[in-house]
Structure 1
Amino acid sequence: MKLAVSRNAIFKPALSLRDAILTIVGLVIGAGIFETPSFVAANASNEIMVLLAWLLGGVISLVGALCYAELATAYPHPGGSYYYLKRAFGNAIAFLFAWTRMSVIQTGSIALLAFVFGDYASQLWRLGSYSASIYAALAIVVFTLLNLLDIKQSKWTQNVLATAQVLGILIVSGIGLFFSSAPASILPVDSTIYPDIQLTEVAQSVSSVPSTNIGLMMVFVLLTYGGWNEASYISAEVRNGRLNIVRSLVWSVGIITGLYLLLNWSLVRGLGLTRMASSQVVVAELMRSTLGEAGAVSISCLVVIATLCSINATILTGARSNYALGRDFSLFTMLARGRENTPANALIVQGAIALFLVLVGTLTRQGFETMVDYTAPAFWFFFLLSGISLFVLRQREPNIERPFKVPLYPILPILFCGICLYMLQSSLAYTGYGGLLGVVALLLGLPFLWWSQKVSNATQRQ
């Protein structure tokens, strides 16, 4: 089914260990950490449980990262999970994954991040009735064009944004820990600063003593940790990749866990559990309580930086699996066209789909929520299959050199797959119609798979 294509993009090692770490950190630390702490607090019975939940999220992410480290070092390829699924389960599953990633998972994530950027950028400079959507579309266009220039431009931008992102979280955490007063009573959200934000159903139902719901709490925690697996898509572009991929995953998960714990510690200390649980803009409220309204506005600036960082990294890694789809399936040959380290056509198609999803989110008037619902079930389904592929490839290809092997095999991979299965069930239970739309988009790949196989068979008979 593979087809030789002229002017294919060529991937050479151009990323250092530092570049890889900052790319992963930038991917993971998006806008989620500024929104989900209130949901976690609303489902915890005390402050210690909040901190333990974030620590557990880091441990779970590390388990998954170790599993991916074995796959990425044994099979370095710009297709990442696509390539693992292809070797483990064949072309059909790999095709459906690449199709779903192109139409649902990655493009939906780009649109989701773009909406968050639009919401917070609108707090700083509003562009009319559709301000958030305009900002979202502009971010997708600008960063797609930036990635079309060259990976050197993209990685430089990523390094600057990720560094600013980490420094911003450290500053906010320091202010919360050293300058905030003792937890005060619940204060209302200032509608003049955040006119579009309403308290969530979870926050509205919080009593003076939040109830415990460990399962729902971990849904929000693991959502906020999501993204470290994208390291597999740059495995072919990292210098000394068989060693540095493992290092980048371990270092990035460690840095992210430390930052999340530090920020939540400052929130617990500065606001208290009940006040945390009652606010959807919890970090902004912490800054407001210490620095006044200027502090709340500064948080909008930080979220804008964090979200732009994640958008850039998500666009960078997303185009790699589209490129792999074009290399292996003749129906999508054009996706493989590009220059060195720049899958140009894959980037353009990805950007166009993401812009369409921004339009969908605009029409539903719930851009962020629609994109969360749209992406979650498909994401966890293929995450589960990627975990299972580790077992399959160990059994089917025992002689492949594995520079790194996941420790405590098979205990840790089984644990990882169990977590993915739980998250898949949870995402289907909570997402409703949005999740169903994502599943439908996945199934729409079946006719294209049939068509591609038909074209390939006809070519082989000639």
Structure 2
Amino acid sequence: MSATQQEFKPTLSLLDATMIVAGSMIGSGIFIVSADITRNVGSAGWLLFVWLITGFMTLTAALSYGELSAMFPKAGGQYVYLKEAFNKLAGFLYGWSFFTVIQTATIAAVGVAFSKFTGYFIPALDIKDENILFQLGIFKLYPAQLVSIAVIALLTYINTRGIQGGKIIQTIFTITKLVSLFGLIVFGLLLAAKADVWNANWENAWQMSKIQEGGMIAGIAGSAVLGAIAASMTGSIFSSDAWNNVTFIAGEIKNPKRNIGLSLFLGTLIVTIIYIAANIMYISVLPLNGGEQSIAFAKQDRVAVAAANEIFGSIGMYVIAVMIMISTFGCINGLVLSGARVYYTMAQDGLFFKQAGTLNENAVPQWALWAQCVWASLLCLSGQYGDLLDMISFVVVLFYVLTIIGIFVLRAKRPDIERPYKAFAYPVLPIIYIILGLTFCFFLIIMKPVYAGIGLGIVVLGIPVYYIAVANQKKTV
């Protein structure tokens, strides 16, 4: 059978799909980003509020996406939903942004996080000037970047061999990291929680302030409160993103009309509970402010390492390093596995490289997988993965909002299409998400205009690329 005659094989169960949701969400963020959130909001109450509002938005979006996934249970996910609700241009702009920054930059960032924490065991992988392999101007090449690329390439290769290998890795690593995170939370609350630390952290729980270098505190009031929340949420949204990856592989899930929506709900609920519980543990174990054993100023923002040192003593950092290596490895696998299906569907519509629209003898989009690998590897080399956080968060939420607006559009435009599942609490929850998402994007542009602006620029740049692709498609017809 030729590659072009191959079709996706529905082999993934509800458990597999749920593990893809949870495994793609949990990378390195929950171990790190609470430091930056704390510096931006300055109190225990607001720290938890940022995680709660992010969890609420994630669950709301996941419950809303259930309707779309049941209507269009095929590969491509969000790209398909936007195309069906609006037009091919809207779908392409998502696919373009997905390839250029959303998926590939996330793969790169998580890949570098894997290498950084491997550096606890192999010091040569620390990103320090003494470990530079090559430098040309501002470009610096570190061994950690090469290890990141090697991990991405390895997981790409495994996924070209068929869905089974990727599925097994995803399930094993996701269950392992869920159990590990749960264990860390329980040990933290049982062995290291301190009443005096907890009470001190909650003394001024709702007094928002910015914690500056040296521990100086500057009060925040008025409209600046919303700006501080938006700036803080870039980390929590990045940590909670990629939950929608399961929709990209709909063609490989058994009973997709039921199982995609259910896996979205179960996966996001599990991760949201764990994230909030982890931050309660941090607040129980570490002071908000005051040196490297605090949440705000943990060394290199590694809050989980600081907490683990309190729980397990000197071996704590190694415990967390292993946990993050497991977590990021599984996360990369989920991102690699699912992302290529979007490029495949775009290619089928004539909006991506033609070769990406074929499946190999193992019924997977091999060319698309390797194209994703190459671009993610280049982003690893760029050294700009840290700066991409604001950009990714802005673009991701912008398209989530647009997709949920698509539910309203499709209800009006295609009322007769079968809807085995309908968006929960429609229209109230979807409207709340749209308001919260647009508010986040608005204040992020105000607070962090450079990277949010670059993110918007990447989306807009896709418009001429789309018309070039359409023109080329007409020439070949």
Alpha-carbon distance in structure 2 between the residues aligned to 1:66 and 1:238: 18
Q: Which residue of 2 aligns with 1:102?
A: 99
1:118–1:374 CA distance, 2 compared to 1 (3 A): farther
| Aligned residue number for residue 372 of structure 2 | 350
Q: Shift in Å at residue 443 of structure 1?
A: 3.9
SS in 2 for 1:14: coil
Q: Distance in 2 between matches of 1:296 and 1:184?
A: 24
Cα RMSD between the aligned structures? 2.4
Cα separation, 2, equivalents of 1:303 and 1:131: 19
Asked whether the 8 Å contact 1:121–1:304 carries over to 2, the reply is yes
**Partner secondary structure for residue 276 of structure 1:** coil
In structure 1, give the amino acid aligned to 2:433. Answer: F
Q: Counterpart of 2:296? A: 277
Query: Residues 213-252 of structure 1 correspond to what in structure 2 (within 5 A)?
Result: 213-252=228-267
Indicate if the aligned counterparts of 1:9 and 1:336 stay in contact, CA closer than 8 A.
no
Q: Distance in 2 between matches of 1:184 and 1:9?
A: 63
Residue-pair matches, total: 436
Deviation per residue, 1:211-269 (Å, 9 max, x gap): 67444444433332222122211222221221112221111122112211221121111
Contact persistence 2:237–2:393 (CA under 8 A): no
Task: Determine the C-alpha separation between the residues in 1 that align with 2:106 and 2:171.
Answer: 20
Distance 1:310 1:69 in 2: 22
Q: Secondary structure at the match of 2:295?
A: helix
Pair 203,222 (structure 1): closer, same or farther in 2 beyond 3 Å? farther
- Separation in 2, partners of 1:355, 1:203: 34
Q: Where does residue 258 of structure 1 map in the other structure? A: 273
SS in 1 for 2:76: coil
| Match status 1:387 vs 2:409 | no
Deviations 1:251-294 (A, max 9, x none): 11221122112211211111133322232111101111222221
2:422 corresponds to 1:413: no
> Counterparts of 1:45 and 1:331 in 2: how far apart (Å)?
45
Structure 2 Cα separation of the partners of residues 348 and 258 of structure 1 = 35
Report the counterpart of residue 139 of structure 1 in structure 2.
Answer: 151
Q: Which of 43, 58, 63 is the aligned partner of 1:61? A: 58
Q: What's the TM-score, normalizing by structure 2?
A: 0.85
Structure-2 separation of matches of 1:260 and 1:289: 19
Letter in 2 for 1:346: A
The aligned counterpart of 1:191 is none
What are the within-5 Å matches in structure 2 for residues 395-406 of structure 1?
395-406=412-423
Partner of 2:76: 79
In structure 2, the partner of 1:170 is 182
- The answer to whether the Cα contact below 8 Å between 1:24 and 1:227 also exists between their aligned partners in 2 is yes
Residues 444/56 of structure 1: CA separation in 2 closer, same or farther (3 Å cut): closer
- Stretch of structure 1 that moved more, 112-121 or 147-156: 112-121
Q: 2:442 maps to what in 1?
A: 425
Give the aligned partner of residue 118 of structure 1.
115
Contact kept in structure 2, 1:122 and 1:131, CA below 8 Å: no
The answer to whether the Cα contact below 8 Å between 1:24 and 1:230 also exists between their aligned partners in 2 is yes
For structure 1, the 5+ residue unaligned runs are 186-200, 362-366
State how far apart, in whole Å, the 2-side matches of 1:284 and 1:326 are: 43
C-alpha separation in 1, matches of 2:187 and 2:403: 41
- Superposition deviation, residue 309 in structure 1: 1.1
Distance in 1 (CA, whole Å) between partners of 2:345 and 2:170 is: 23
Q: Is 1:104–1:442's contact at 8 Å kept on the other side of the alignment?
A: no
Answer with 49-58 or 412-421: which moved more: 49-58
- Name the counterpart of 1:193: none
Q: Which amino acid aligns with 1:204?
A: E
Which SS does the other structure have where 2:278 is aligned? helix
Following the alignment from structure 2 to structure 1, what is the Cα–Cα distance between the partners of residues 438 and 322? 37
- Residues of 1 paired with 2:436 and 2:284: CA distance? 30
Alignment partners' CA distance in 2, 1:11 and 1:386 = 25
Distance 1:53 1:360, change over 3 A: closer
- Residue type at the aligned position of 1:397: R
| Cα offset, 1:106, TM superposition | 0.9
Give deviations 1:404-444, integer Å, cap 9, x for gaps: 11132211111112222123224434445444444444344
Query: Larger deviation: 427-436 or 267-276?
Result: 427-436
Q: Indicate if the aligned counterparts of 1:28 and 1:226 stay in contact, CA closer than 8 A.
A: yes
Distance 1:181 1:33, change over 3 A: closer
**CA deviation map 1:40-74 (0-9, x unaligned):** 33344643443344333322211111111110111
Of 320, 323, 341, which residue of structure 2 is paired with 1:302?
Answer: 323
Contact between 1:44 and 1:210, CA under 8 Å: does it hold in 2? no
User: After the TM superposition, which residues 25-64 of structure 1 pair with which residues of structure 2 at under 5 Å, given as runs?
Assistant: 25-44=22-41, 46-64=43-61
CA contact (8 A) 1:39 1:203 kept: no
Equivalent position of 1:204 in the other structure: 213
The two structures have a TM-score, normalised by structure 1, of 0.87
User: 2:135 maps to which residue?
Assistant: none
Contact 1:43 1:216 in 2 (8 A): yes
1:103 and 1:218, CA in 2 relative to 1: closer, same or farther beyond 3 A? closer
